[in-house]
Amino acid sequence: MNRPRPPSKRASTSTPSGPLARTTAEAEELAALARAKGVQTVVGLQSRVSPALLYMKEQIEAGYVGEVLSCPCRL
């Protein structure tokens, strides 16, 4: 996995589109580096609380649409 260096290892901020760490240990290391360097961090959950996606999730879990094999989505 090729990933950008975290902001704690360089001078500017970063907003990656994917996971910044592969393991909990890596994430904890990056958080410690950011804390030590005074770099502000944020967690972006994007669509986890989207009303439309939560509704779709409820309908799928209720069995309304049967077995879901694929679900491309644009909001």
Same domain flag for 33 and 55: no
| Phi, then psi, of 48 in degrees rounded to 5 | -60, -30
Structural domain contains residue 1 = no
pLDDT of residue 3: 57
Same domain flag for 29 and 52: no
pLDDT, tens digit (0-9, with 9 covering 90-100), for 42-73: 777 677 778 888 898 899 999 998 888 887 87
Same domain flag for 33 and 51: no
Structurally, how many domains does the chain consist of? 2
Same domain flag for 33 and 50: no
Q: Which domain holds residue 65?
A: 46-75
pLDDT of residue 47: 73
12/35 Cα distance (integer angstroms): 14
pLDDT of residue 10: 54
- Return all residues near 33 (Cβ < 8 A) that are at least 6 apart: 6, 8, 9, 39
